[in-house]
Chains A and B, each alone.
Chain A
Amino acid sequence: MQTVFQFSGLSYTYPKSNSLALDGVNLSLESGDSLALLGPNGAGKTTLLRILCGRLAVNSNALSIAEEFKNPEGTLDLSKCGILLENPGTYPRLSIAEYLKFFASFYDVKDVDLQIEKLAKRLELPDVSTAMGALSQGTRQKVQIARALVHRPRLLLLDEPVANLDPGAREAVWELLADWKKEDGGTLLVSSHILSEMEQVATSYAILYKGKILRSEKMSELRTDEFILHVQLPEGVSPEAFKNGFPADAKITHVESGKASLESVYRGAIQAAEGDFGK
């Protein structure tokens, strides 16, 4: 499997700021993977995405990009990426179709009308002749997702793509992304606060807190220190007996290592970090 990008000890400080926005971040993404970037507000997720997109300049040693995704200047080749950063602006006087066509015109998109029609249907967008200015915030967000996907990118960088969407729309977005991955073999980096959905969508995760990666692993490696014990109790002993400790004659018949939920791992990591930072 090819590594699409790798951050090695990446640190970043915004101009006129004394504190580190990112502090020694080590993170990589394999081709075909879906990485969930998690963390509270202000953790550094958007900064990380902006650095990856080339919007913020960093030491070239801190970021390596696979040849396939690199342009001659050594930064990310934006023609292969679909990018949705936070609070993207729109052109209120353009219709949905005009807006998507304008952005698609900078890529090599075959049959853009068909592609827009497909995306509009999947995302349940209103009539594509509707002006962007007349759309609700949630619908505008869906148009932005369509914009990021209209040229069928190889790599998608999405910053809170479902933040303003209702559950049904969120489901439609995740299904669309799953199909895009299946059909185009795409690689996804997504940040979101909806952990239950991230657990379903992503193949790996990274928790960022105050610019540091607290934990980063495959979703399949989500484990807890707790175990599930299957116990056979002697006759006449009720489960109430556990209140006084492990019953003497009880037998452990099966031990199952527990799979933690992403939410519990996230909360645990953040609480531990808050404790450490508070000290």
Chain B
Amino acid sequence: MKNATWKIARHELGMILREPKFLIPFFIPPILLIVSQLVLLPGEDDPWVFTRMMLNCALLIAPMVAPLAADSFAGERERGSLELLMLLPVKPSSIFYGKLLALIPLPIVFMFVAESSYVVATGFWDFAVYAKSVLLGILMSFVFTGIALFISLRVKTARATNQIAHLFIFLLLILGNVFARAYYSYALVPLFLTVAVVCAFAAVSAMSSKTFRLK
């Protein structure tokens, strides 16, 4: 069972990496933020501006996983290859979690690269801000993967999944910016957020896995 999950995950990751077009969106937010900071705000020294930029970087990278999640289920269903996987002698949950396992590392890796690039490019360094921004990015990656998976299993096409999932970007940006000060100022807020996201993700994954089994 575990073996099958790993095989699916490896296969899925291989498929993603062979289609570089899916990875392009991960490069766009950090490049835009770094360039706009250097061009529009040269000589800026307010730490809160840098913090906001790092927060937005984290918030913008996470939704870029949506096209991957959409292709994983709705896309494969559209192409007819999902049924082939379902006809393998493995449990549907192995297929589901295998695909999930392949999706998660990508935004996380890009998050580290993007936040580190921002630090290098702007010269702003505050470990607490860096760590909290990366953590937020990782949590938002889980949130977006969960949202996209949930939608991907319920709609018929990858395009519809993308369109619906991307509506959540605005919500994420608004909420992120409204609660930014609380998030960076209080130590317990990231902890609570982590617990809430992990619980919600586990619940959504379990529900999605059940839906997938019945499809």
* A53 CB-CB contact with B under 8 Å: yes
When A and B form their complex, which 10 residue pairs have the shortest distance between CB atoms, in order from nearest?
A: A89-B81, A89-B80, A79-B89, A89-B79, A78-B89, A93-B18, A106-B88, A87-B80, A83-B87, A88-B84
Q: Are A93 and B19 in contact (CB-based, < 8 A)?
A: yes
Q: Which DSSP category, helix, strand, loop or mixed, fits chain A's interface? A: loop
| List of B residues within 8 angstroms of A89 by Cβ | 76, 79-84
Within 33-88 of A, Cβ neighbours of B (below 8 Å) are at: 53, 55, 77-79, 83, 85, 87-88
| List of B residues within 8 angstroms of A85 by Cβ | 83, 87
Within 80-103 of A, Cβ neighbours of B (below 8 Å) are at: 83, 85, 87-91, 93-94, 102-103
User: How far, in whole Å, are A89 and B15 apart by their CA atoms in the complex?
Assistant: 14
**Residue of B at shortest CB range from A106?**
B88
* A105 CB-CB contact with B under 8 Å: yes
| List of B residues within 8 angstroms of A55 by Cβ | 83, 86-87
Interface size class of B (residues with CB under 8 A): 10 to 19
* A227 CB-CB contact with B under 8 Å: no
**Residue of B at shortest CB range from A87?**
B80
* A14 CB-CB contact with B under 8 Å: no
* B4 CB-CB contact with A under 8 Å: yes
Q: Are A105 and B87 in contact (CB-based, < 8 A)?
A: no
Within 20-39 of B, Cβ neighbours of A (below 8 Å) are at: none
* B90 CB-CB contact with A under 8 Å: yes
Using a CB–CB cutoff of 8 Å, the interface residues on chain B facing chain A are: 4, 7, 11, 15, 18-19, 76, 79-84, 86-90
**Residue of B at shortest CB range from A77?**
B89
Q: Are A88 and B81 in contact (CB-based, < 8 A)?
A: yes
User: How far, in whole Å, are A82 and B83 apart by their CA atoms in the complex?
Assistant: 13
**Residue of B at shortest CB range from A85?**
B83
**Residue of A at shortest CB range from B81?**
A89
User: How far, in whole Å, are A154 and B79 apart by their CA atoms in the complex?
Assistant: 28
| List of A residues within 8 angstroms of B89 by Cβ | 77-79, 106-107
Q: Are B87 and A106 in contact (CB-based, < 8 A)?
A: no
Q: Are A88 and B88 in contact (CB-based, < 8 A)?
A: no
| List of A residues within 8 angstroms of B76 by Cβ | 89
Rounded to whole Å, the gap between the CB of A214 and the closest CB of chain B is: 28
Q: Are B90 and A90 in contact (CB-based, < 8 A)?
A: no
| List of B residues within 8 angstroms of A93 by Cβ | 15, 18-19
Q: Are A106 and B90 in contact (CB-based, < 8 A)?
A: yes
| List of A residues within 8 angstroms of B19 by Cβ | 93
0 or 1 for each of A153-164: is its CB under 8 Å from B? (1 = yes): 000000000000
Rounded to whole Å, the gap between the CB of A72 and the closest CB of chain B is: 12
- Taking each of B7, B79, B86, B87, which has the highest tally of chain A beta carbons within 10 Å of its own beta carbon? B87
Contacts A78-B87, A83-B87, A147-B84 aside, 10 further interface pairs with beta carbons under 8 A come to: A53-B87, A55-B83, A55-B86, A78-B89, A88-B81, A88-B83, A89-B84, A93-B19, A106-B7, A106-B88
Partner of A102, one of B11, B86, B87: B11
User: How far, in whole Å, are A93 and B81 apart by their CA atoms in the complex?
Assistant: 13
User: How far, in whole Å, are A87 and B89 apart by their CA atoms in the complex?
Assistant: 20
What are 18 A-B contacts defined by CB distance under 8 Å? A55-B83, A55-B87, A79-B89, A83-B87, A85-B83, A85-B87, A89-B76, A89-B79, A89-B80, A89-B82, A89-B84, A90-B79, A91-B15, A93-B15, A93-B19, A106-B7, A106-B90, A147-B84
**Residue of A at shortest CB range from B19?**
A93
User: How far, in whole Å, are A89 and B79 apart by their CA atoms in the complex?
Assistant: 5
User: How far, in whole Å, are A216 and B7 apart by their CA atoms in the complex?
Assistant: 42
